[in-house]
Amino acid sequence: MTASLPVIFDCDPGIDDSIALLGAFVAPELDIRAILTVCGNQPLERTLRNALQICELAGRDGIPVHPGAPRPLCREPIHGLFHGETGLGAARLPEPQKRPEPTGAVEALIDHLGRAVREGGPRITLCCLGPLTNLALALRIAPDIAGGIERVVMMGGAFHAPGNRSLTSEFNMLADPHAAAVVFAAGLPMTVLGLDATHQVILRPEHVARFVGASGRISAAMAGLMASWDRNDPKRYGTRGGPLHDPLVTAFLLRPDLFETRPARIFVETESPLCLGQTVADWYGQSGAPANADIVLKVDAEGVIDLYLGLLTQYEMRGAA
């Protein structure tokens, strides 16, 4: 099967970013043009290093990895709480040999999308797993690149669900609410996987064991990544385990039939100290503004888990690189 879907990942690995990438790396449908990194779950130097290590782990050294924004647009940086000291949980990966590209992520985004616009396609699907700083900067510097974007598929926001990093706000939105505001206002085709969706896919400890068992030659790394997966917060998640946030982006690209969406206009709060980063969906056109996103409201959790188990099995079959 030929890779038919050109994609760029913009991420802040991050444990769940890493799993999203490891899934995408073995999906023959995806033509991964570049990986961009951003300050988010970890500071930029860590997310960059982690992206390089994950590429090498999977034997995908050929994908260019670009360093992106080292800080959010306006607010001071915040980082994730559940990713361990390095950002990769307990995984201990070798010092990366692969070098980052000299071109920054924002410039790379402008160049890739600008080329798609000039050459008349194919347009690129952006898979945004972290704060939206890189995309916001690119859109403000070169707004015409919007024409080179097929769709933005992003993890972020919380609509009916409460926030995770604050009472109202999901981490990626809270980490750079101003960037999110720029992206939501840009009029791009978007699919948004917020906490309403990701909290439907809880990997329980037995799922984690199956993920590790399926992962063949990367199973030790997978065990390290997922060592602290269990949030042990059944009151919040309804069971032991933890939510599969970023990997849902990869899953949506491969199996959109596992997801139900509903169009709405998304706004994000950029000023209130209490509600900074809160995403607000206008489901009924009350704002008078047109819908700017398809928000995922329902996920076939078992389908997603089976999809990932199938993807991870590829690492078994390929054997050592």
Tell me which residues are annotated as active site: 245
102-161 residues in contact with another protein (CB under 8 A) are 104, 106-107, 110, 133, 137, 140-143
Position 71 contacts another protein (CB under 8 A): yes
Q: Which is nearer to another protein, 15 or 39 (CB)?
A: 39
Phi, psi for 32 (deg, rounded to 5): -85, 110
Q: What is the DSSP string of 245-308?
A: -THHHHHHHH-GGGEEEEEEEEEE--S-TTTTT-EEEESSSTTSPPP-EEEEEEE-HHHHHHHH
Stretch that binds another protein, among 67-75, 207-215, 218-226, 291-299 (CB under 8 A): 67-75
Can you state the percent helix, strand and coil of the chain, rounding each to 5?
Answer: 40, 20, 45
What's the closest the beta carbon of residue 143 comes to another protein, in angstroms?
Answer: 6
74 binds another protein (CB under 8 A): yes
- Backbone φ, ψ for residue 155 (5° rounding): -100, 120
Query: Which residues make beta-bridge pairs with 260?
Result: 298
Using CB under 8 A as the criterion, what x/- string covers residues 181-210 for binding another protein? xx----------------------------
**Residue 174 interacting with another protein (CB under 8 A):** no
Distance from C-alpha of 165 to C-alpha of 175, rounded to nearest angstrom:
9
Distance CA 30, CA 4 (A): 6
Q: What angle do CA 82, 19, 232 make, to 5 degrees?
A: 40
What does the radius of gyration of the chain's CA atoms come to, in whole angstroms? 18
Nearer to another protein, 180 or 197 (CB): 180
As measured in angstroms, the least distance from the Cβ of 120 to another protein is: 19
Binding of another protein by 92 (CB under 8 A): no
CA atoms within 13 A on the CB side of 43: 4
CA distances, 286 to each of 17, 281, 282 (Å): 35, 10, 6
Q: Does 43 bind another protein (CB under 8 A)?
A: no
Considering only residues 270, 278, 292, 314, which one is a binding residue for another protein as defined by CB under 8 A? 270
Residue 79 binding another protein, by CB under 8 A: no
Q: What is the phi/psi pair of residue 27, to 5°?
A: -90, 115
Q: Please, which residue, 104 or 148, has the CB nearer to another protein?
A: 104
Is there binding between residue 269 and another protein (CB under 8 A)? no
We find the least distance from the C-beta atom of residue 270 to another protein, in angstroms, to be 7
- For the chain, the residue count is 321
Binding flag, residue 70, another protein (CB under 8 A): yes
- Rounded to a whole number of angstroms, the minimum distance from the CB of residue 198 to another protein is 27
Nearer to another protein, 118 or 298 (CB): 118
- Contact with another protein (CB under 8 A) among 73, 193, 212, 258: 73
- Minimum CB separation of residue 41 from another protein in Å reads 19
Helix (H) or strand (E) holding 34: strand 30-37
> Could you tell me the two tokens for 102?
């000299």
Using CB under 8 A, pick the residue from 34, 35, 48, 69 that binds another protein.
69
- For another protein (CB under 8 A), the number of binding residues is 20
Token pair in block for residue 311: 């993807």
Q: Which residue number, 125 or 169, has a Cβ lying nearer to another protein?
A: 169
Given the rule CB under 8 A, which residues bind another protein?
69-71, 73-74, 104, 106-107, 110, 133, 137, 140-143, 178, 181-182, 270-271
